[in-house]
Every structure is written in structure tokens, then in C-alpha cells.
Amino acid sequence: MSRQFFKALIILLILFSTNIYGQGHHQGTTPAHDSPADLSIVDKKSLREEIKEEIQHHLLDSHYFDIAHDKETHEHYGFALPVILVDDGLKVFMSSEFEHGKKVVQKNNNFYKLYHNKIYKTDAEGNIHYDENHKVTNEKPLDLSITKNVFVMFIATILLLLLFSTAAKSYKRRALPKGIARFLEPLILYIRDEIAIPNIGKKHYKKYMSFLLTIFFFIWVLNMLGLTPFGINVTGNISVTFVLALFTFLTTNLTGNKTYWKHVFDPLGDSMPWIAKLPIYIILVPIEILGLFVKPFSLLIRLYANISAGHIVMMSLIGLIFLFKNLIGGSMSFLLAVAISMIEFFVALLQAYIFTMLSALYFGLAVEEHNEH
């Protein structure tokens, strides 16, 4: 609830700073013959656009940890992050030099501009060029910057290292854990006894436990950080979920045994002679190979879609409070936002569990032996 309260305050600050509710917002631009009803329609359209922009801004990654900003004075509240570019050598500087896209940065003989959260090479005037489809044609350098999402992932990594190192020290000092170890122990045992062993088997589960524990707690912590009022949307970024799914894909196929690969390229086994199987395999084997990529793809899409949808729904409900502008509509939107925020705490844990459970299931298929099959 505190998260939504702070988000509501931020959106309220933005809306008032741009004078959305005031008539001065339209002075000098609205024709004299417009009726009050017409002005109301213009106001509502403008407000919808403001809310849509805020939602899109919340979902995007950024080179600046922007917590809030005033659109009238163009003041931003947050801190700059390092920009790392590979373009005729390594170029490192702080994103504050861009002044949120208002300034062109010169490094040696190259000029760079931050435009829609992407860095492009430009001329000294910072001109952006487009093709006939209105796509930017400026060259982009290799961007290895510490963006907002990367910075939050570093925080999550450090937090997990501190938690588990503290828990490990607790076990060294005493048989019964205390403090954070007492909280982590049932979660670790649950992943081992209810996810790893049933899906992988007692013979092979140990070599996958480190990965399963890491992926579960890493996704869970990132999801929980996304519930804070700082506009963090790491697991709602498809690039992040792609890399997480790629780790599962590589681990599955690099550790797959002979039975696993035989099932892919010879799914019918010795039940039929090759002459009889060949026409079937022309269709069946490509489907099995496609299945190798569909499994991790479903992982990345499921995590990305569920987390992004939660953020969009939450921000939209808060925006409805300002659209209704009455006690009944605003109260209903507020209550729905509170209810959804409570559900999001459950979804944050559920999505980490689903990703871990399906990864364990794929690992189990990769190491399953013929007699087990």
C-alpha cells in the first residue's frame, strides 16, 4: 500500500506541475469559440496522454535512476549512472552529461545524444535522422552502460550474497540456525524436497541445486524490488528474462545425456525399422528440435508478460483516480489498486517458483535415464 501511496504522490506532483487541471494549461492555444464541454474533452485527452506516458516511462530501462521529475521546471530527482560505450575505443562518463537528452556529449571526435533512452552518434548539433518509416537511422555505438536495471541487479546480487553468507556463518557457529538463516532454511529445503528431487531425481539433483536456488531467489528479490515506489521493472524487461531463460536452455542442453538426445533425434526408438520411421521423422524430428527452443521461450515470455502486466494494471488503476475526479470512481480505483498490490506480492513469489519449477522439470528430462523413462 505504501508503494502505491508514493506512486500516487509522484503522479499527482507531475499532473499539478503541468497544470493539467488548471485552465492556464490551454490559454493562448484554445480557440475562443470552444465550449466548456469541448475544453473538458481536451483536458481528459491530455490527462490520458500524461498517464500513458508515465506508464511507458515506468516500464522502460534508463541511463538515469530517475525517481520523479517536474515537467514544468524540468528538474529530475535521482542520480546519474555510468555510461560505457565501445566506439573507436572505450568511452566512460556519467549520464548526467546528457542532461536528460538536452545536451550532446563530445568524446574525442565523436558526438553522442541520448534519445528515447538510447544513445546515438550525431553531429555537433545533435541532429537525429529518420527513414520513410520514421525509424532513427543514426548509428548506435556498442552500449555497455550500467543502466537502471543493471544497477538494480547489482543491488539484488549484493543483497543475496550478504543474506546467504550470513546464513552460512550462522550454521558454522551452531547446529540450529538463527536470524536470517531460520527464514532461508525452509525455503531452501522446499526447493530441494518439493522442486529439485521430484523433478530431477535423487541421483542427479545436487548438481543443479546451486542454479535452482540462485534463479529462485534472484527472480524473487527482483520482483519484490519492483514493488517499491522507485519505478523498478527489471523482470518486466524482456532482455533480462531472455538471459535468464538462456541460462536454463544452455544448462539443459549442455548437461543432457544420451537418452535425452536420442529422444530428440530418434523419438520412436527401436520400435520400428528406419525405413518405416523415416517418413514420420521428416515431420517429428523438426518438431522435437523446435521444442528445445519453445521451452525456454515460454519461460521468458511468462515471466516478462506477468510482471509487465502487473505494473501496467497498477499504474492504470492509479491513473483512473485522476480521470474519474469524483469520490465514487476515485475510491473504487484506489481500493482496486490496493487489492492488486496485495496480489502482486503473491505473484512476485509465484513467478519465481514457476520459473524454478519448470527449469527443474527441463533438467530432469535432460538427465532422465532409459530405465527411468
Range from 146-150, 313-317, 320-324, 365-369 carrying the lowest mean pLDDT: 320-324
| C-alpha to C-alpha distance for 34 and 182, rounded to whole angstroms | 67
% of the chain surpassing 90 pLDDT: 44
Most confidently modeled of 172-176, 266-270, 356-360? 356-360
Q: Is the pLDDT of residue 29 over 60?
A: no
Higher pLDDT, 27 or 81: 81
- 328 burial type by CB count under 10 A (0-12 exposed, 13-18 middle, 19+ buried): exposed
Amino acid (1-letter code) at residue 161: L
Q: What is the mean pLDDT of the chain?
A: 82
Most confidently modeled of 69-73, 132-136, 158-162, 314-318? 158-162
For residues 222-230, give the mean pLDDT.
87
Range from 132-136, 147-151, 237-241 carrying the lowest mean pLDDT: 132-136
Containing H/E element for 359? helix 327-367
Q: What is the DSSP letter of 171?
A: H
278-305: pLDDT as tens digits = 888 888 889 999 999 999 999 999 999 9
Band of residue 178 on the pLDDT scale cut at 50, 70, 90 = confident
Higher pLDDT, 29 or 148: 148
Q: Is the pLDDT of residue 37 over 60?
A: no
Band of residue 274 on the pLDDT scale cut at 50, 70, 90 = confident
Higher pLDDT, 132 or 198: 198
Q: Is the pLDDT of residue 10 over 60?
A: no
Q: Is the pLDDT of residue 82 over 80?
A: yes
Q: What is the pLDDT of residue 191?
A: 96
Going 282 to 283 to 284 to 287, the CA torsion angle's sign is positive
Band of residue 11 on the pLDDT scale cut at 50, 70, 90 = very low
Q: 66 and 323 in contact (C-beta within 8 Å)?
A: no
Entry pTM? 0.80
For residues 173-179, give the mean pLDDT.
75
| C-alpha to C-alpha distance for 197 and 191, rounded to whole angstroms | 9
Task: Give me the torsion for CA of 319, 325, 330, 331, rounded to 10°.
Answer: 160
Containing H/E element for 278? helix 274-324
Q: What is the pLDDT of residue 335?
A: 87
| C-alpha to C-alpha distance for 252 and 367, rounded to whole angstroms | 9
Q: What is the pLDDT of residue 60?
A: 81
CA angle 249, 253, 259 (to 5 degrees): 140
Q: What is the pLDDT of residue 221?
A: 95
Q: What is the pLDDT of residue 31?
A: 37
DSSP characters for 81-101?
Answer: -EEEEESSSEEEEEGGGGTTT
Q: What is the pLDDT of residue 38?
A: 41
Q: What is the DSSP letter of 20?
A: S
Tell me which residue has cell 529518420.
130
| C-alpha to C-alpha distance for 215 and 218, rounded to whole angstroms | 5
85-131: pLDDT as tens digits = 999 889 999 999 998 888 999 998 899 999 988 999 999 889 999 98
List Cα–Cα distances, 369 to 272, 287, 366, 373, in angstroms. 21, 22, 9, 6
Q: What is the pLDDT of residue 71?
A: 65
301-359: pLDDT as tens digits = 999 999 988 888 888 888 888 777 777 877 888 888 888 888 889 999 999 999 999 99
Q: How many CB atoms lie within 10 A of CB 146?
A: 17
E-strand spans in 186-307? none
| C-alpha to C-alpha distance for 26 and 34, rounded to whole angstroms | 11
